[in-house]
Amino acid sequence: MRAVVVDRMMEPKELRVLDAPEPELRPGTLGIDVKAAGCNFFDTLICKGRYQVKPPLPFVPGGEISGIVRELGEGARGFSVGDRVCCALGSIGGYAERAVVPMTLAWKLPDRMSFAEGAALPIVYPTSYAGLVYRAALQAGETLLVHAAAGGVGIAAVQIGRALGARVIATAGGEDKLAVAREAGAELAIDYRQEDFAARVMEETGGQGADVIYDPVGGEVFDQSLKCIAWNGRLLVIGFASGTIPTPRLNRVLLKNIALVGLHWTAYFEKEPERVDEAFRALLALYERGEIRPPVHRSYRLEQAGEALAELASRGTTGKVVLEP
């Protein structure tokens, strides 16, 4: 089969499509004809050997796909040949014409969900759902501040927060990205390059601050967020896109009675697998009701994997970049 193969540590621009062995169908797994594969920033790291997961060479990158069930492994149940599904692969295996996935990591797509949308869902949407629902317990009527709101997890957080009944304030850089945040459901979008977002949040909330802050950026954004969080607020630590891991002044945590809450979504697969399925079912129900919709920035051919990852790494994307074998 055709697949993007990493046979040595390489820059994403060096990625090539080669003939690769068919993945082995094992008991309890599904053989999938891949129709779309989601691109993620960690794909750029894993190709260079700079990710925490270091698979043995050679390997096929790609952690999320959508496609059609082509065969069932022994004991696989709940699916039929021909079912349209989205799948969470973990870290590798998706940039190929075919993949094999444990039946527990596949979910049937709603009839009106495209394959591109299906490939855009399995990582960023459950990440944001778990953060807002499991970790921050966001309630209807609360104020949610979402940073990097035009990125993958940011858009998901805005849409989910709005669906949960929160008032959503978003930050992003530049008018184009602010427009994306508004389209996703943000009531107010703040250009952090042009104004002090903390002061604006305090002004817009009548001096109360945001009840929940969703931070995939870290660094100075985290530090400033402590200035605009409400009493009993929850600051969600999602990631460190800025490249700087903050060291908070805990007196602020104490004085405002706030909680710093971490999220390690992929650990749920091992620690609390029942909550993974719960999150996916909730998200697909939200999609069916029209309350969320994964945005697709652009689709590339499999041979353009390097170009797709370069665009993703440039941080110029809004929504998901996908490959279509």
Q: Where are the domains of the chain?
A: 2-121+294-324, 124-266
Number of Cβ within a 10 Å radius of residue 187? 16
Mean pLDDT over the full length of the chain = 94
**pLDDT attached to residue 294:** 95
Q: What is the mean pLDDT of residues 41-54?
A: 88
Q: Is the pLDDT of residue 313 over 90?
A: no
Q: What is the pLDDT of residues 95-126, one digit of tens each?
A: 999 999 999 999 999 999 999 999 999 999 99
The per-residue b/e assignment along 229-240, b for 16 or more CB within 10 angstroms, e otherwise, is bbeebbbbbbeb
Per-residue pLDDT of 266-297, as tens digits, reads 899 999 999 999 999 999 999 999 999 999 98
- d(Cα 184, Cα 193) in Å, to the nearest integer? 20
- Three-state DSSP state, 281: helix
Q: Please count the CA atoms within 13 angstroms of the CA of 121 that sit on its side-chain side.
A: 32
Render pLDDT for 77-98 as a digit per residue (tens, 0 to 9): 999 999 999 999 888 999 999 9
Can you give the pLDDT at residue 170?
Answer: 98
- Cis peptide bond upstream of 295, omega within 30: no
Instruction: Considering the domain delimited by 124-266, tell me its CATH architecture.
Output: 3-Layer(aba) Sandwich (3.40)
Concatenated DSSP letters for 169-234? EEEESSHHHHHHHHHHT-SEEEETTTS-HHHHHHHHTTT--EEEEEESS-HHHHHHHTTSEEEEEE
Query: Quick one: average pLDDT of 7-28?
Result: 94
The Cα–Cα gap between 84 and 263 comes to 30
**pLDDT digits 0-9 by tens, 114-163:** 999 999 999 999 999 999 999 999 999 999 999 999 988 999 999 999 99
The pLDDT value recorded for residue 20 is 95
Q: Homologous superfamily of 2-121+294-324 in CATH?
A: Medium-chain alcohol dehydrogenases, catalytic domain (3.90.180.10)
Is there a contact between 216 and 241 (Cβ–Cβ < 8 Å)? yes
Phi, psi (rounded to 5 degrees) for 177: -75, -35
- For residue 319, the model assigns a pLDDT of 79
What local confidence, expressed as pLDDT, does residue 151 receive?
87
Q: Where are the beta strands (DSSP E) in the chain?
A: 2-5, 16-19, 29-38, 64-72, 84-88, 98-102, 106-108, 143-146, 167-172, 188-191, 210-215, 229-237, 259-262, 296-301, 320-324
Percent of the chain with pLDDT over 70: 100
